[in-house]
Amino acid sequence: MTDITSANAILMLSIATLFPTPQQLQGFSTDDVYDLDAISNVQVQMGIDGLLSGGFVWKEQPQSIVLQANSPSNAVFDTWNSSQKASQQTYQANGILTLPSLGIKFVQTKGFLTEYKLPGGKKVLTPRRYIITWEDVSPAPA
C-alpha cells in the first residue's frame, strides 16, 4: 500500500452525557489534522552497579485535534467546554479514529477535554486546537 493520505481520516467522538450518538468531526485544519504524543510506558532506573531495571507504568495519551475556525465540529467542543463550566464537572468521551489509507483504526477510551482554544484573529481566523487526554488509545482491525 503506497497511500498515506490523512485526507480520508475519520474521527468519531461520543460524549455520553452530551452526544451519546458518535459525532463525526469535520472541517480539519489544512496542515494539521490531529497528533498524538509519544507514549513512554516504561520507566527505567540504572543501579549503582550498572544493572538496568525497568517496569511498565500506565501513561495518559494526549491527542491534539485541529479544526478550521469555521468547522461545524467546533460546536461539539464548545458544548463540551460550556457544559463542564456550567456544571463544574468533567464529561468523558470515547472515540474511534479510522485511517482508511492504512486499513487501521484506533479505539480511544475515557478521554477528557484538557485544552480548549478560541480562534486567533489574524488576517483570517486561525484554526482551533483542542487537546483530549485519553486513558487508552489502542489499534484495532479496520
Q: Give yes or no for a contact between 10 and 24, defined as CB atoms under 8 angstroms apart.
A: yes
Q: Give the β-pairing of 52-56 and 61-67.
A: unpaired
Give domain limits for the chain. 10-37+54-141
Q: In a 10 Å sphere around its CB, with 0-12 CB exposed, 13-18 middle and 19+ buried, how is residue 128 labelled?
A: buried
Determine phi and psi for 83, rounding to 5 degrees. -65, -40
Cα–Cα distance for residue pair 27/50, rounded to 1 Å: 52
Tens digit of pLDDT for each residue in 43-80?
999 999 999 999 999 999 999 999 999 999 999 999 99
Tens digit of pLDDT for each residue in 11-23?
999 999 999 999 9
